[in-house]
Structure 1
Amino acid sequence: MVTIKDVAALAGVSTSTASRAMHNNKVISDETKQLVFNAMKELGYEPNYAARNLANKTSNTIGVILPVAGPEIFQNPFFMEIIRGINQECNQRQYMVTIASGDTNEELADNVATMVKRGRIQNFILLYSKVNDPVVTYLHDQKIGYTVVGKPVDYENETPYVDNDNILAAKDATEYLIQAGHQNICFVYNNEEQLVSLDRFTGYRRAIRSADLANEYQYQAPVDTSPTDVETFGSWLSEHPEVTGFVTSDDIVGLMVQQTINQTADIPRKVVSFNNSLFSQMSSPAFSSIDIHAKQLGIEAVSLMMKYIDNKNSLVSKIIVPHRLIVRD
Structure 2
Amino acid sequence: MSVTIKDVAKLADVAPSTVSRVIANNPRISEKTKRKVKEAMDYLGYHPNFNARSLANRSTQAIGLVMPSSADKTMQNPFFPEVIRGISTMAHEQEYALYMSTGNTEEEIFEGVVRMVQGRRVDGIVMLYSRVDDNIMAYLQEQNFPFTVIGKPFKNAEKITHIDNDNFKAAQEMTEYLLSKGHERIGFVGGNLNLVVTIDRLLGYEKAIRKAKLPLKDEYIVHEEFLKEGGQEAIKELLALENPPSALIVMDDLMSFGILHTLNELGLSVPDDISIVSFNNVMLSELSSPSLTSVDINIFQLGYEAAKGLLDCIQSPKHNPKRVTVPYKLVERQSCRTV
Band the TM-score falls in, shorter-chain normalisation: over 0.9
Match of 2:327 in 1: 322
CA deviation after TM superposition for structure 1 residue 223, in Å: 5.0
- State how 1:99-138 maps to structure 2 within 5 Å: 99-138=100-139
Moved more, 79-88 or 307-316: 307-316
- State how 1:28-39 maps to structure 2 within 5 Å: 28-39=29-40
CA deviation after TM superposition for structure 1 residue 225, in Å: 4.2
- State how 1:86-165 maps to structure 2 within 5 Å: 86-165=87-166
Find 2:282's aligned residue among 254, 257, 277. Answer: 277
Distance 1:311 1:232 in 2: 45
Letter in 2 for 1:138: Y
Moved more, 67-76 or 284-293: 67-76
Distance 1:231 1:122 in 2: 41
CA deviation after TM superposition for structure 1 residue 70, in Å: 5.2
Q: Does 1:68 align with 2:73?
A: no
Q: Does 1:268 align with 2:273?
A: yes
Match of 1:52 in 2: 53
Distance 1:31 1:154, change over 3 A: farther
**Partner SS for 1:226:** helix
Match of 1:220 in 2: 223
**Partner SS for 1:239:** coil
CA deviation after TM superposition for structure 1 residue 248, in Å: 0.9
Q: Does 1:244 align with 2:246?
A: yes
| TM-score (ref. length: structure 2) | 0.90
Distance 1:107 1:15, change over 3 A: same
Q: Is the 8 A contact 2:12 2:37 kept in 1?
A: yes
Distance 2:302 2:169 in 1: 17
Match of 1:253 in 2: 255
Q: Does 1:303 align with 2:300?
A: no
Summarize deviations over 1:180-230 as a string: whole Å, max 9, x none.
Answer: 111111110121111011111111112212222223420112455439x63
Structure 2: segments with no counterpart, 5+ residues: 335-339
Distance 2:203 2:116 in 1: 36
**Partner SS for 2:122:** coil
**Partner SS for 2:240:** helix
Structure 1: segments with no counterpart, 5+ residues: none
Letter in 2 for 1:212: K
Distance 1:235 1:130, change over 3 A: closer
CA deviation after TM superposition for structure 1 residue 49, in Å: 1.2
Match of 1:81 in 2: 82
**Partner SS for 1:213:** coil
**Partner SS for 2:28:** coil
Distance 1:292 1:10 in 2: 47
Letter in 2 for 1:304: G
Summarize deviations over 1:254-291 as a string: whole Å, max 9, x none.
Answer: 11222233325266211111110134223211211111
**Partner SS for 1:290:** strand
Distance 1:13 1:169, change over 3 A: farther
CA deviation after TM superposition for structure 1 residue 119, in Å: 4.5
Match of 1:7 in 2: 8
CA deviation after TM superposition for structure 1 residue 308, in Å: 2.2
**Partner SS for 1:178:** helix
Q: Is the 8 A contact 2:147 2:313 kept in 1?
A: no
Q: Is the 8 A contact 1:63 1:125 kept in 2?
A: yes
Match of 2:192 in 1: 191
Letter in 2 for 1:297: L
| TM-score (ref. length: structure 1) | 0.92
Distance 1:204 1:70 in 2: 30
Distance 1:69 1:224 in 2: 13
CA deviation after TM superposition for structure 1 residue 46, in Å: 1.8
**Partner SS for 2:216:** coil
**Partner SS for 1:319:** strand
Letter in 2 for 1:253: M
Letter in 2 for 1:64: L
Letter in 2 for 1:15: P
Pairs aligned (count): 328
**Partner SS for 1:283:** coil
